Every structure is written in structure tokens, then in C-alpha cells.
Amino acid sequence: MTPLTETGWLGPWGALVAAPFIGVAFGWFLERGGLGSAPKLAGQFYLTDLTVFKVMFSALVTAMLGAFWLDRLGVLQLDLVYLPETFVLPQAIGGIVFGAGFLVAGLCPGTSCVAAAAGRRDGLGVMAGMLIGVAIFNTAFEWIAPIYSATPLGAVRLTDLAGTTRGAGIAAVTVIALAGFAGARHVERPVHVRGRLHAALAIVAALLATGAAIAEYGTDEVISAPELADRIMSRADDQRIFDLRSPGAFEQFHIPGASHVTVAELPQIPLAPQSSVVLYGDRRRTVIDAVRVLRSQGHRDVRVLRDGLYEWLARVYEPRLAVDATPAERSEFERAASLSRFFGGVPLAGVPRGDVPQGYWNGHPRSDALLAAAAGQSAAAIRRRGC
Amino acid sequence: MRRSYTDPYLAGIGVGLVLLTAYIAVGQGLGASGAFASVVASGTAAVQGTMHAAASPAIAPYLPSGIASPLQDWLVLELAGVMMGGFASAWLAGRLHRVAERGTGVSVRQRMYAATGGGMLMGVGAKLARGCTSGQALSGGALLSVGSWIFIASCFAAGYALAPLARRLWR
């Protein structure tokens, strides 16, 4: 099971040893593709040479499809891979400033290192400029800070916002990239050197992408933790909650009323077709498989607990209120505290701001360190996000 | 002898497999601008003293005592590897040349100013966006991160919008 650093196979030192090897391969392929030469990169902006687009998007699609399928096959736990946090405004402005610099420099930070290593003095110039630019940013940080931390959305994927499955999102990105590759042949001078190879690669990508969309089809219904809490409190009939984690984790802590089940056991469980089912687990693949099993048996109302036990702990079982809470946070906490007491949890008021769990429900980036702390203190050792 | 470049799609698949290896091995993507930030933070600490440098919220995360430290060390070593890999590939392909590559009507001095100025803009932009074409666009984009795709869109939109103004640089 991977990532190796998350599952304990590779310690911090091991990761540092791996770094230069990964870097060598990265630099090698960038140079092989011609991305160590500024005029070639700049050609992207004049549509005379689309190498940047081709290399970048074939790399993106390869990694995206590879990561999805390795996750499906149980090799890689994709939810443990670091997902950059979204800050809409600074990333839009930063992108504009960066794009202007990219155009003028003809190289981006990574490719400037490749160019410099290949003897290009302009590459060294870009590297020097990068250092100066970062130093300017640091010096002016006091003034930049309000923009820098504006409009946070947390660690969020396009598919979370769109409300679709990740498989469907991956398929959409692949289709757009392949359409772009096809279009690129008409924009550049048409040189069909490796037409057959390219067609074969495109077919493989299209098949993997279609497979991804099909593998997750119909598994996009989610429920938030407070919604689930309300449902449990209203003692709705025909409601079932299934915990798909290990029996040990279930013994340690589970949502009241949940029963432990494995995907293999699901078909044997007597369940009325009209019952509402909520599923949660700590492996996305398992949860998706469970939804599909229930759907294939004709159950319509099957939902996945959004963010699994993480959101449950943070918003229902153990809500926290910062010392310097805003009135909005205070009223949200009052509501959460009554839920918490109902479920035998421990609402904590007056904790330091840094100890308040964050997620997209309060518009702040999720901190995995806080999650680990929360899980350690209250319930089971629940890693990062559940499903 | 100078060899021609590898097919861009094959090179791209190579980069994609390297990125996938990074996800698998260390649970994070590739990066470049973070390494520059780390170097600047260490430099600032050396000049101003660690205590003074650590007082800045822009610098503290990149210092050895900072929270982002292991990640940043990782990026510095990775980027050193990028330079070695780039050197090896250029050498074996006969593409090692001590030149400043530029458009035809541009002097070396002008090219160096443009390169440094462009680098400065990218330094500011990458810090603001929390990553560059490697760490944000590629590594985050492949994970469908919303911010990564905002960055991709605004970066290329700005590049194309301003391209007519910079035409003289690349003719």
C-alpha cells in the first residue's frame, strides 16, 4: 500500500534520499521533450510550437489516470496524497503575474533549471530572477498578506464543487486534453510523424478515462455530518448506517446506530428497497464499491457520509469553539453542541484558534495535523479524510 | 552529434510517470518554486539571523524549524536532481551549449534583462499562487485541485493576452 511515506515504509530520510532520483527523471524528460530551450517554450504563446501544452497535458493525464487506477487496484491510497489548498483570488492573481513572467522569461521555474544545467545563460538569469521575486514577495508580505489568505476554499477538487464523481471529472479532463491534442495538429505545421503511435496512446487514454467514469457511475450522492445527525435524532424508520472500516476501528469508535459490514457481506443483509442507507469508511475505493453493490440491488437512496468520520468528529461529536470566535461561529457551535451532547460527545468552548478543525464547511483549509490530534484525543486513530 | 527532441507526448508520459512515482513514494507531487522559496528563506536567515527571519510569517514555514521544512528540503534536493537530469540529457543529446537563447532581434544583454525580469514576476506570482507550473499546475492539476485549475487558466490567459506586446522578444 502506498504512498510509502504515509504507510510507514519510507521515513523522512528515505523520502529525502528519493528526492534527487525523482528530480533526475523529471529533469531528464523535460530536457528530452525540448523544454530546456526558451524560444521553444515561448512558441506556446504564439501558437508556433505547442510542446509546452503537449508535454504538460500528456503528463497531467498520465498521472491523473494512473493515480485513479492505482487507487482502484488498491496500490495507492489517493486520499493520502497531498492535495494543494485552494485560495481563489490569490491563485487567480498569482496566475496572471506568473503567466506574464513566463511569457517574458520563456521558461518556468522548473524548466529554467533544466536550461541552466544545459548551459543556457538565460536559464541562470531566470533562476536569479526567481530568487529576487521571492525575496520581494517576502519583504512586501505585510501588504500582500490580506490578498494571500483571501477567499479560502480548503483542499477541494473540481468534482467536489461540481457534485460529480471523480471518475466523471477525470473522464471530462481526458476528453478535453485529447480534443486539444487533436486540435494542436491543425494549429502547428502539420507533421504526422508518429500518427499511429499517437492514435494508439489516445485510445488507451480514452479507454482508461471511460472506465474511470463507469467505475464510479452513480456514486455521487453525499450527506453532510450535521444532516446525518439530524436524521438519526429524528429516528427516521428505514434508515441504516453502515461502517465499512476494520472491525477494530469500529469497536473503538463508530457513529451511533451504525453497524459494521464488509462489502462482501452487504448483499446478504436484509434491507427494504425503500430504506435510506448512509455509508462511511476510511478507504474511498471500499465505499464506492459498497455504493455500487447496493445500487445494483435496486436501492435508490444510498448516500456517502461526506469526508467520513472526520467531519462527524469535527462538526457533531467534538465541535470546538475558538476563544476569539465570531458571532456566526458561536451560533454554529451552539447548534453543534446540542448535537454533540445528544450523541454523548464533548463540545469544547474556548480552545485556541489553532485547535479548531477546519474544512470546506467553514471555508478554511483542512489541517491534517489537527485531524490527527482530534482523532487521537477523542476517538479512533482516523487518518486524514475518510470517505 | 545533436539529436532531435523526443516526441512531446512520449516525454509528457515520462513526466507523468515520474509524477505518479512521486505520489506513490512520498505522497506529494513534483515542485520547483518551493525550492526557490526555501533557498531565499535560508539566505535571509543567514543574513539577518534566524530569529529575525523567523519573525516573518512569509519566511518562517521554510526555515528548518518551520512546519513546511521537510517538504521544502525535499523540493531543494528534487530540484538539484532536475538540474542533474537536465544536464545528463542535454549532454548525451549533444545539446550542451553556453549561450543565451533568444529571439533574433534581441541582444544578449536584453535577453538577460528579460529573463531576470520574467523570473522576478514568476517568483512573486508563484508565491502568491502557492506554487508554479510544476507544483500547482501539474501536480495539483492531476489531482483535480480547484486552485490548480484556476492557476492554469489565469496563467495561460495572461500569457496569450500579453503575447502581442512581447512579440519583439521572440521573433
Domain boundaries along the sequence of chain A: 14-215, 222-306, 311-381
pTM above 0.80, yes or no: yes
Q: With an 8 Å Cβ cutoff, are A117 and B18 in contact?
A: no
pLDDT class for A376, splitting at 50, 70, 90?
very low
| Mean pLDDT of the residues in chain A | 86
Q: With an 8 Å Cβ cutoff, are A83 and B150 in contact?
A: no
State the count of interchain CB pairs (< 8 A) between A and B: 549
3-state secondary structure of A107: coil
> Which range has the worst mean pLDDT, A251-260, A364-373, B46-55?
A364-373
| Residue in A234, A167, A165, A171 with CA at minimum distance from that of residue A205 | A171
pLDDT of residue A261: 93
pLDDT of residue A383 exceeding 80: no
Strands (E), chain A: 86-87, 152-154, 222-223, 239-243, 258-260, 276-280, 302-305, 320-322, 348-351
Residues 6+ apart with CB under 8 A from A384: A79, A80, A310, A368, A371
Phi first, then psi: what are they for A345, rounded to 5°?
-90, -170
State how far the Cα of A239 lies from the Cα of A278, in Å rounded to an integer. Answer: 8
pLDDT of residue B79: 95
**Which grid cell sits at B42?**
535560508
**Which grid cell sits at B143?**
489531482
State how far the Cα of A195 lies from the Cα of A122, in Å rounded to an integer. Answer: 34
The CATH homologous superfamily to which domain A222-306 belongs is Rhodanese-like domain (3.40.250.10)
**ipTM rounded to 2 decimals:** 0.95
* Mean pLDDT for the stretch of residues B103-113: 94
Please write the tens of the pLDDT for every residue from A132-176.
Answer: 999 999 999 999 999 998 888 878 899 888 888 899 999 999 999
Q: Do residues A272 and A299 make contact, with C-beta atoms less than 8 angstroms apart?
A: no
Give the residue with greater pLDDT, A141 vs B72: A141
Q: Residues A103, B40, B66, CA angle at the centre, nearest 5°?
A: 120
Would an 8 Å CB–CB cutoff place B160 in contact with chain A? yes
Residues 194-233 of A with CB under 8 A from B: 194, 197-198, 201
**Which grid cell sits at A159?**
468534482
pLDDT of residue A64: 97
* Mean pLDDT for the stretch of residues A36-43: 95
Residues 91-110 of A with CB under 8 A from B: 91-110
State how far the Cα of B25 lies from the Cα of B19, in Å rounded to an integer. Answer: 10
> Which range has the worst mean pLDDT, A121-135, B63-77, B129-143?
B63-77
Please write the tens of the pLDDT for every residue from A257-298.
Answer: 899 999 999 888 888 888 889 999 888 888 888 998 998 888
3-state secondary structure of A251: helix
pLDDT class for A225, splitting at 50, 70, 90?
confident
Would an 8 Å CB–CB cutoff place B6 in contact with chain A? yes
Please write the tens of the pLDDT for every residue from A293-344.
Answer: 998 888 888 998 887 788 888 888 888 888 888 888 888 888 888 888 888 8
State how far the Cα of A347 lies from the Cα of A313, in Å rounded to an integer. Answer: 10
